[in-house]
Amino acid sequence: MVVRETAVRQMQRLAIPILGTPEYFIAMDVGYMGDHGGAFETSLMMAMMPELVDLSQLEGEPPYQGIGGGDAKRDSSAELGEKFACTISERLARLAARMPGWTDETRSEFLRAEQALVSYQLEAGGKADNVWAAWQDLSKLVPYGQLLAEEKFSEIAALIPSG
């Protein structure tokens, strides 16, 4: 959240596009929801650096100490990691190639969409006294990565629940 909020502020200040979204927002529509050492991150590691993955270190039954999200032993695979890595890298590469050529209007539309996401998270977190409250149900935001890659920023802003 801090990175996204900072990116929004700097876009306003510098008038350049800055993407401050977490990687899982880029690929939620293909099933990647992010975690901390769980099935999603472990799958990415199995695809990119399999020599660093040793699932035998996970002892007992889930939830494993220090890991958040999914059963890495049961649900991880290099194939899944490859799918996630390809989706994330292809979409980011597409954006990186196009962002420098955005018009002022396109950059403003992108800024408004990102501002809506930041406001939603901050307001929901303030009401619940939990900064993660807005992300308890990400189902409405699943299309974000695809819409971002297609530069459909007004559609991203429309995903944000109002009120």
Residue 101: per-residue pLDDT: 96
113-137 residue pLDDT tens: 999 999 988 888 788 888 777 777 7
Residue 16 near residue 135 (C-beta atoms within 8 A): no
Question: Are the C-beta atoms of 115 and 8 separated by less than 8 Å?
Answer: yes
Q: Tens digit of pLDDT for each residue in 36-89?
A: 999 999 999 999 999 999 999 998 888 888 898 889 999 999 999 999 999 999
Q: Answer whether 0.85 is exceeded by the pTM.
A: yes
**Residue 8 confidence (pLDDT):** 96
